[in-house]
Amino acid sequence: MNKNKKYTEQQEKLARFAKALGHPARIAILDFLAKRDTCFFGGINDELPIAKATVSQHLKELKNAGLIQGEIEGPKVKYCINRENWALAKRAFGEFFCNCQSKKGNCC
């Protein structure tokens, strides 16, 4: 690839979402949070079979990608799905998979 060419903003955004979704623990965390009508107060490690330190690292990745949001309130943290970016990720992946379909069927 030509070093002078840059990735599009859409490609970079999609890659950030894909990286955040690239671990089963993060999928489990997102699944857990997405099933709630309100933000979750407490330790996600109490709800999922994941160590507290591991949860922190995964939450950081998900937050950096913009898929969740959280606030520290006293000794506990409040987490929830970032619905705006959730919808953006859904649309971006849908467009990506739709646009990347082979025109002639299988290539192999």
Angstrom distance (rounded) from CA 57 to CA 48: 14
> Which residue reads 């990720």 in tokens?
89
Going from N- to C-terminal start, the domains of the chain cover 9-96
pTM of the model: 0.80
Beta strands in 1-108 (DSSP E): 40-41, 68-73, 76-81
Per-residue pLDDT of the chain (108 residues; tens, 9 = 90+): 556 779 999 899 999 999 999 999 999 999 999 998 888 887 788 888 888 888 888 998 999 999 999 876 656 678 899 999 999 999 999 998 888 766 666 655
CB atoms within 10 A of CB 45: 15
Residue pair 79/101 in contact by the 8 Å Cβ criterion: no
CATH of region 9-96: 1.10.10.10
